[in-house]
Chain A
């Protein structure tokens, strides 16, 4: 069904001055959808995913002369973009940005609110430069409100936005949830806001500003707890892997060293099917377990019964058997499994992206694609993330039409550079050490062979 030759956002130009995950992943996805994305970073301020806490690992954990171009997380999030390095702290740099704003459709930024205001690039000024621009501002708490200027980032926000309070083992402490969890809520929200803005512009002729605060997105995702508090004065309780209404439900140990399968019994019919599968027909008729209230009361005991059965089989075998009798079950996939699981493979979620040899990153790397399949457009990741300043000349000369003299002046004055003047630490630690201190579970020396990449 290939009727449309073009990707949905072909012809849309996006400027992205945002850092880390939320804004950059939004524009990475919009790039997958066909938009041209120009990523702007500063000479002394490379994106925080190019080094430091959020950057991931170097290829094969080996030193590189340009580690800032090679980090794993940086490359996933910034796939397919163009890179322009511009000193926005200086007026000459902002003049270049202003020229770009004039010829772009969307700008995504995540400076703390006072920065854009200080530069005269907040939305009231932005729309004077280009009334059709769609401006997306993503910050921890959004503009306005008592926490507006508080520094924020996902790991600390997942406590503040209420997810940690309802995540944790039964009776245990609040637990950290994901990896930069709320950043991805923000990435999708930034993307939706940009698309809403583009449509608004088509209908009404002018752009708009979206003011996104990650905190509020995270709060929305615990809405049922907030409503339970408002309506019923309920406290949020940590129930581990159990279900609010069904029983039993849990994550059960399977054969192997750290292998698990989640099982959820939704009703009496599921319960009977599971008991028969486990060859425990006597449990079906046991009055203690006939109704959900009884199964909730005896949940600990039922967990031991189920674990005794699941521990005899691999996690995949448990999942397949339980699913075969119509009961929800899912093996806990780990980072390696994601690359080899037959379902994910058949769906093609992870794409193999080619890197040019001069990148010295390896010729092929597997990267997460998108969770959407469009019938009228075959999408794929356009290419690796750009090296630092890779498209300086292209953007200045071709996109902006600057002449030799202007380009030379920008370089001479250090407004435009192609090597970061400051970098962040890349933790220097062997893989074995990382495993020994618990930062990693394990590593496969032969991962390339397993993945079939060069």
Chain B
């Protein structure tokens, strides 16, 4: 069996929701022994939709299932001294602790990094919260849309005649988990080079803001502020309808404009003003009209394959969740993992983020039931 990169690590995951748990799950997938420590009432993600069979049941949240694969689970009431003592004894041998409580909560229980590192100087602790540990908003309540609004990204999402638009789902949470993993792994590398653990403060707001590498410097370079696109007239870079759905295309990549014009077909596209970047920007409405007219009888799949294979155009189609569930490319990339869950049963779960043939992720167990490993783990203390 191939060695797993992180199979010598013990991790305590006290985080709830999606961001912290995804961070800890990534470490678990690469081999770490992750113990999920939930309060007696369970992680809030256990109440997050969607649920298997639409049944709002503690063990049927598909979000909890996704974010806690490969972890063992215990329940501890850290507001009681017995619970705190159990946690402290686990901390003594832990390498990493992940948490997402409201800033100040763990300090109020004597479980802040200063206290924990006093009993285990090797400990790396990461807090992933909506606004970070410091600053005037650190105690603010948040929800995905609130983090999103304050990140800046909503100001450029949607159309200018309407309200700013949140992206679908829980993007800041996934992003926070992925970005948090980078910080933990960097601290781990530093620990091995320099011998001590440290504390990391991650703000989900800043995670999303830090993706605005086009938007932010426009102000810093010129004082320019991008807004939301107009409702019509420049949907170049926006989805356009075709026979059975929607598609999106861009210039750049390997295709010349002449090839793009040939792919779509109309002769008007082959001459000015459409042959230059600024001409296309200025005549966006006309460009949209020509392209929409030319593609109204073509299917998404045909457009996607022809544009990609024959013309090497940057081209996308609007795939629905069911398309992704059946996607042959995801199948070939082994994106899904079959999970046997004691309550849910057998189910395919999105799992593999990328391939590393010499040190692949491994699937070992489904998400834990609430308190499933109490006897095994707490009994051993």
Contacts and interface: CB of A to CB of B under 8 A. Distances in A.
Given A225-B169, A365-B220, A216 B335 contact: yes
A25 interface: yes
B223 interface: yes
Given A230-B348, A445-B223, A169 B143 contact: no
A241 B145 CA distance: 7
Interface in B1-60: 3, 5-6, 8, 26, 30, 48-50, 52-54
A323 B251 CA distance: 44
B316 A158 contact: yes
A7 to B, nearest CB: 8
Contacts of A375: 113, 198-201
Contact of A427 (B30, B148, B277): B277
B2 to A, nearest CB: 10
A242 to B, nearest CB: 9
Contacts of B199: 374-376
A408 interface: no
A266 B143 contact: yes
A261 B189 CA distance: 41
Contacts of A141: 329, 333
A249 B194 CA distance: 47
Contact of A330 (B142, B201, B207, B313): B142
A438 B160 contact: yes
A441 B193 CA distance: 48
Contacts of B97: none
Given A4-B194, A332-B154, A443-B223, A145 B356 contact: no
A367 B354 contact: no
A200 B154 contact: no
B50 A231 contact: yes
B182 A29 contact: yes
Interface in A152-196: 152-153, 155-169, 173-181, 184-185, 188-189, 191-193, 195-196
B212 interface: yes
A166 to B, nearest CB: 3
Contact of A192 (B26, B65, B229, B321): B26
B89 interface: no
Q: Which of B62, B145, B155 has the most CB of A within 10 A?
A: B145
B7 to A, nearest CB: 9
B131 interface: yes
A227 interface: yes
B63 interface: yes
Interface stretch (B76-84, B172-180, B265-273, B286-294): B172-180
Nearest to A433: B282
A50 B17 CA distance: 40
A198 B221 contact: no
A367 B158 CA distance: 25
A443 B186 contact: no
Given A173-B239, A251-B154, A56 B132 contact: no
Given A169-B165, A226-B324, A185 B175 contact: yes
Interface stretch (B103-111, B133-141, B370-378): B133-141
A425 interface: yes
Contacts of A330: 140, 142, 145-150
B182 A192 contact: yes
B200 A153 contact: no
A22 to B, nearest CB: 11
Contacts of A323: 140-141
A288 interface: no
B332 interface: yes
B227 interface: yes
A77 interface: yes
Given A192-B181, A337-B152, A368-B210, A251 B163 contact: yes
Interface residues of A, number: 184
Interface in B162-213: 162-171, 174-175, 178-183, 185-190, 192-194, 196, 198-207, 209-213
A266 B17 CA distance: 14
Nearest to B4: A200
B263 interface: no
A91 to B, nearest CB: 23
A363 interface: no
Contacts of B328: 145-146
Contacts of A227: 50, 62, 65-66, 347, 349-350
A235 B321 contact: yes
A285 B372 CA distance: 42
Interface in A187-221: 188-189, 191-193, 195-200, 202-204, 206, 208-213, 215-217, 219-221
Contact of B143 (A148, A249, A346): A249
Contact of B203 (A60, A329, A371): A371
B321 A151 contact: no
B363 interface: no
A66 B218 CA distance: 18
Contacts of A362: 221
A447 interface: yes
B344 to A, nearest CB: 8
Contacts of B151: 333
Which 8 A-B pairs give the minimum distances between C-beta atoms?
Answer: A447-B223, A441-B227, A166-B168, A156-B316, A145-B332, A371-B206, A330-B146, A195-B185
25 contacts: A9-B189, A61-B224, A72-B214, A73-B214, A76-B216, A142-B333, A151-B315, A159-B239, A163-B167, A164-B246, A165-B321, A169-B158, A175-B238, A185-B175, A192-B181, A211-B356, A216-B333, A220-B350, A222-B321, A228-B50, A343-B131, A346-B135, A376-B196, A438-B229, A442-B225
Given A240-B166, A376-B187, 18 more contacts: A143-B355, A146-B329, A156-B316, A158-B316, A166-B168, A179-B214, A184-B211, A227-B65, A234-B321, A245-B49, A264-B145, A327-B141, A328-B140, A338-B209, A368-B209, A371-B179, A374-B200, A434-B224
